[in-house]
Structure formats: structure tokens, C-alpha cells
Amino acid sequence: MRIGKLPNNSATLDNPANSSYKILAVDDEVGIIDSLSIFLKRSGYSFTGVTNPLDAIEKIKNEHFDILLLDFIMTPLHGDQVVEEIRKFNKELYILLLTGHKDLAPPLDTIRRLDIQGYCEKSDKFDQLLLLIESGIKSVSQMREITKMNKKLSETYQKLEQSYLESIQTIRYTVEAKDNYTRGHSDRVSEYSVLLGKKLCMSEDDLHKLKIGGLFHDVGKIGVPDIVLQKESKLTDEEYSEIKKHPTIGANILCNATIFQDIIPIVKYHHEKFDGTGYPDGLSGNDIPYLARIAAIADSFDAMTSRRVYRNSLSIDQVINEFKKCKGSQFDPEIVDAFLDILNHNYNSILEIQEKYK
């Protein structure tokens, strides 16, 4: 079938605006590829033509193209089979299918399933094909702009996220300056939480939440009076009541920033106990957010292994006995078992974290 009579439309010729768009044509008839090459290059497009559909698949894997013009009836693969392969690794390519006869076009369901944007019959004129290509270029252009906008928005969001993180870090460092015990504590809790999360086969997203949640779990201590934080003797009931406010204060500090929404449960509930006797809300069992139950164990471990004014740090044997004793009352039993396994079989990873934040 002949296809190649150029449209008498000078407006389409030598259009420099088209030069940034790359078109790949695939047809097993060399004459059609030659005709398309003349037509599309005169229209200003960057054109590549191939006669072997297998070569086309490899080109698309290794090069960027904006539009694919694809013959339907070819050997060794038909056009729909070519698209089937392409869609396995490229979902964005704009594809126009060329058919020798209308009754040889693939079913509409196939066109929809493979996300083929359009098709037309081969003709000795290019008018219909030209309109479809111009429509495709408009769609590709719009997608380019959307991609640019999304990239700018992503960069802006990342800068905003970094700004928020730096602001909360400043508060965290202020807390550490007020409370000697807190210095290094949040970093260790963060790393212990991630270590335990990995042991529990948590997703990368949850591990990230554990890392950030651990860093900021005590940020609410900024609202606790210095005289309470720095007291070297046992706290009175009233002073302990002040300390117990810090999870809620921390959650309130973070609540207005979208980027911190996922870690608020860790910040607010890391002092809840499995039997419901913790604070601030007295949650119990599975009502306590899972990541908060992990952070609670990491937080308690660091508290037990840190030297305080009123006591020395506990030995590892004492710590293990304490976790066994509080399993099911203060701590989630399954998470305790996972942490005890780390202490018994992978204690070097704990020592590395402790050495890092001495």
C-alpha cells in the first residue's frame, strides 16, 4: 500500500518548535518508512524509522522517544504484541497505531488495555496522521509541563520539609542542652528502633518513621520546667505529672506540619504500657500504635543502660531480666521477644550504636 503524498500545508514545514520532539516509526515496508521520514523531517520533527519491530523495542529501552508510530500487521510481531512488550517497561510513551485496513485493526478492548492513544488507516495522504501527531504532541507537551511543575513542587516541598526538620532539630538540641540525660538519648532511641524494626521485617517506610520518630520522641520536653528536668533527686508526684505532659506537648508541637503526621503516634504514645497503665491516654494492647510499641522498648532500653544521677546503668543481664519481667505488662510480648533475640545474638550492633553516641 502506498503512503507518501505530502500535504500541501506549508505551515507544517520546517517548524523549529517541533525539533525537540522525537518520533519513532515502525513498519516492515521500507517505502512507508522513507515517506514518513521525508514528511516528518520536513515538519521539523526528529525522526527515526525502523523496519524490524524487535529493533524498535530495544531502541525504546535505550533511547527517549515522544511518539511511536506503529504498523499493526508486521513480522515477526504484530503491533499489539510490540505494544505489549513496551508497556512492560514504558507506560508513558504516546502510541499511534497504523492499519492497512479498518477491519484489520485490533479490538477496542485491546487498544484500551494497552493504552494505545489512537490509530488511523494508512492512506496516500497524511492529513489524518498529521492531525493525530499534532494532537499527540500537544498531549506530550502538556505532560512535560506537568512533569516540570511536579518537579518544582517536589523541590519546594523538600525545601519546606528540610526547613521544618531544622526547626524541630533546634528544639531537640535545646532540650538536650537543658537535660544532660537527653544528650545522645534520642539518637540512640532512633537507631535502636530502626534495628528492632529491621528485626521485625518492617517496610522501608516504617523504618523511616521509626528513625524520625525516635529522634523527636522527647521534643515535648521543651515544655517541661528546667527545675524538673535537671533535678538530681527523686521527683515528687507533682513533678512527675509535669514530666508526663511531654508526649502530648511534643505531639502538639508537630501536629501542624504535614511532614510529621506519621511520627506523631510515636511521639505521643511511646510511654503507653501494654496493660493500659501508661500515659497520656492509658491505651492498652493493640490500641497502642505498633511503631510506638517498638519505640517504647528502644526508649526503655536506653534509659536502663544510661547512667543517671541517682543510679548506675544496669548490666545487660539486669536489662534482660527486666524485659522478661515486664513482658506483657509494660511491653508488647512479641516485640520484647524480638528485642531479646537481638540482645542475645546480635549484641555487637547495640554496642556499635552506644559507641557512636557516647
Residues designated catalytic: 221
Phi and psi for 28 in degrees, rounded to 5?
Answer: -80, 5
Look-up: residue for cell 526508649?
299
Angle at CA 227, nearest 5°, toward 222 and 229?
50
Calpha distance 250→243 (Å, rounded)? 12
From the list 344, 209, 181, the residue with the least C-alpha distance to 289 is: 209
Q: How far is CA 123 from the centre of its chain?
A: 47
Phi and psi for 163 in degrees, rounded to 5?
Answer: -65, -45
Amino acid at residue number 316: I
Q: How are strands ordered across the β-sheet holding 67-71?
A: 46-50, 22-26, 67-71, 94-99, 118-121
